[in-house]
Amino acid sequence: MRQIGKPDGTTLVDKSFAQDDASRPTRAEAEDAVRTLIRWAGDDPSREGLLDTPARVVAAYEEWFEGYIADPDDILKRTFEETDGYDEMVLLRDIRFESFCEHHLAPIIGKAHVAYLPDRRVVGISKLARLVEAYAKRLQIQEKMTAQIANSIDDILQPKGVAVVIEAAHQCMTTRGVHKSGVVMVTSRMLGAFRDNPSTRREFLAMIGAPAGREVNHL
């Protein structure tokens, strides 16, 4: 459990990676649940082609949702202060990710652009990608994931500003429901200088190839 400070001075408590092993189903129970879904879909989980499917699905879930055991504090805790006074934008763009919609368990596939203005400390760029993965590999909605990434960087690194833009396609609307393919959802979270200074925000958007008008769902 950890507390995340918000720009308005309030605090969020993030319990998403606090695991309770006592209440977690066993692997056998998880595999039985998959068999139940297969039967509900109208097939026979005991037939040859589906016999090992429950075990494979549970193994896939371990990989898809390993973000629940990742601690953002641990990912970002090692920083560097020897920057020769560098205080310009640090940007990692086009971070591809795969997540799952918490409403339908359908894939969300997209890319994240993450930037911050350092205040004395910088972090290894691979850590930013790992942070995106930590939050992507959970059941998610895109708006929440965008805020979680930005809030973690702001809380842990305490930079002068943070900007996160996520562009993603949601299979819950391409493979079911309205069946609209080619639709991309864009969300953004701007903190500090990126929120308060329009020129800093425009510079960031230009560097990721997005005009200012593309900034939607601003959080």
Q: Provide the annotated active-site residues.
A: 101-104, 142, 170, 172
Tokens 């308060």 correspond to: 196
Torsion of CA 154, 157, 159, 164, to 10 degrees: -50
What Rg do the C-alpha atoms of the chain give, in angstroms?
Answer: 20
Closest CA to 184 of 213, 216, 212, 209: 216
Report which residue type is found at 34: V
Strands 139-140, 90-101: parallel, antiparallel or unpaired by DSSP?
parallel
The residue to which tokens 């695991």 are assigned: 19
Task: Specify the DSSP class assigned to residue 71.
Answer: -
| Secondary structure letter of residue 134 according to DSSP | H
Q: Which residues contact 136 (CB under 8 A, 6 or more apart)?
A: 67, 97, 98, 99, 108, 112, 145
